[in-house]
A and B are shown apart, each in its own frame.
Chain A
């Protein structure tokens, strides 16, 4: 399963009772009423545990977390930073 598919599955299973409905990868979670502020906390907890990345306070913004596509891009960006930092240390 790709990263995007995994995030999509998490959203559909946890917030839509498994019914994908009209969810597109660019649908705004907040504007569409799919995820509220408590749901964002749940999403962040999942990202941190599943992908072993830290989400900082200033990263809790719609640009990073308000659609399947944005969450995917955010995680990919974070993983690139982790890889780059590891390479620097090596």
Chain B
């Protein structure tokens, strides 16, 4: 692949038929030789990644060996269930709906979350909505800051920078959602003797955009090597419904709609993909800037942001660490 000449989105073009076949072969091989479970559970969010992962699992294992889990809660977007049900129906897989609002209530999520928000917005109450956004690394050089956006009952929006303690409290409480969903995925996997699929794409996996022991936990992550743009190419080939392919990527984690590029990434995914690819392959900054319509300084800032996120989220990828290596001397 020539990446030093005319750099463009074409570098991420793949043969979806070949790639889908390659992934399916690998899924079967891993299931047979290492995982040794009879099928796969996939949490369906109505987004592109879980839809493609489910479609690949069906192609690899057969629809009767795939279970889709739909796990809404009271902050979920209205279209989430509609879209996840649509993809499940199109794939012909069995689904189970687990509304996690009750579990979240039991662990005190809603109370803890609201309490943390009131540390910075005391008037925050029932009927209000909120989300966290980051300062764009493109807007100004500097450290990342996090802002709380609230919307009152009159739809008035206000934004306030989050201090250290409420920021940690909000993130810690919100992580309950991903961890409870994963707990339920493993419950169903255990009762069926299935494995659990993880759904990160390469951008999310590389940049640590997941919750440790939450959506970061899985037995197989079939699309973690694919840039998000490539996931969309596979989605089209696999016949994922157009409504899902056209939906703007969201986290569906906060009560206010939150785009992934508001919360975590510096740029929309199409541009982030190319910046990550360019950084990985050593494409000159000038070529990237020209292709994306950015200034070279902005590309440098995105490259720097990629490095910082890799560094600060390395802990998320680590397994539990041991003081001494334990060698299984009789194993091959």
Q: A33-B311, A36-B312, A37-B312 are in contact. Are A42 and B164 (CB under 8 A)?
A: yes
**Among the listed stretches A1-9, A15-23, A58-66, A79-87, which one makes contact with chain B, having 4 or more residues with CB under 8 Å of it?**
A58-66
Inside 8 A of A45's CB, which chain B residues have their CB?
A: 163-165
Q: Is A38 an interface residue (CB 8 A)?
A: yes
Inside 8 A of B135's CB, which chain A residues have their CB?
A: 57, 60
Find residues 154-173 in chain B having any chain A CB closer than 8 Å to their own CB: 161-165, 167-168
> In the bound complex, what is the Cα–Cα distance between A44 and B143 (angstroms)?
11
Inside 8 A of A37's CB, which chain B residues have their CB?
A: 143-144, 308, 312
How far is the CB of A47 from the nearest CB of chain B, in Å?
11
Q: A36-B311, A36-B312 are in contact. Are A41 and B142 (CB under 8 A)?
A: no
Contact of B144 with A61 in the complex, beta carbons under 8 Å: no
Q: Is B82 an interface residue (CB 8 A)?
A: no
Inside 8 A of A36's CB, which chain B residues have their CB?
A: 311-312
Report the nearest B residue to A41, measured CB to CB.
Answer: B164
> In the bound complex, what is the Cα–Cα distance between A38 and B193 (angstroms)?
40
Q: Is A73 an interface residue (CB 8 A)?
A: no
**Main SS class of interface, A:** helix
Q: Is B191 an interface residue (CB 8 A)?
A: no
How many residues of A sit at the interface, in one of the four size bands? Answer: 10 to 19
Inside 8 A of B164's CB, which chain A residues have their CB?
A: 38, 41-42, 44-45
The residue from B142, B162, B165 contacting A60, defined by CB atoms under 8 A apart: B142
> In the bound complex, what is the Cα–Cα distance between A44 and B145 (angstroms)?
11
> In the bound complex, what is the Cα–Cα distance between A48 and B164 (angstroms)?
11
> In the bound complex, what is the Cα–Cα distance between A60 and B163 (angstroms)?
13
Find residues 162-189 in chain B having any chain A CB closer than 8 Å to their own CB: 162-165, 167-168
Q: Is B122 an interface residue (CB 8 A)?
A: no
Contact of B311 with A60 in the complex, beta carbons under 8 Å: no
Give 23 A-B contacts (CB < 8 Å), ordered by A residue. A33-B311, A36-B311, A36-B312, A38-B167, A38-B168, A38-B312, A41-B146, A41-B162, A41-B163, A42-B164, A45-B163, A45-B164, A48-B163, A57-B135, A57-B145, A58-B140, A60-B135, A60-B143, A60-B145, A61-B140, A61-B141, A61-B142, A65-B143
Given contacts A38-B168, A48-B163, 7 further A-B contacts (CB under 8 A): A33-B311, A38-B164, A44-B164, A45-B165, A57-B135, A58-B140, A62-B143
Q: Which 9 A-B pairs have the closest CB atoms?
A: A61-B142, A45-B164, A41-B164, A36-B312, A40-B143, A37-B144, A60-B143, A42-B164, A60-B142
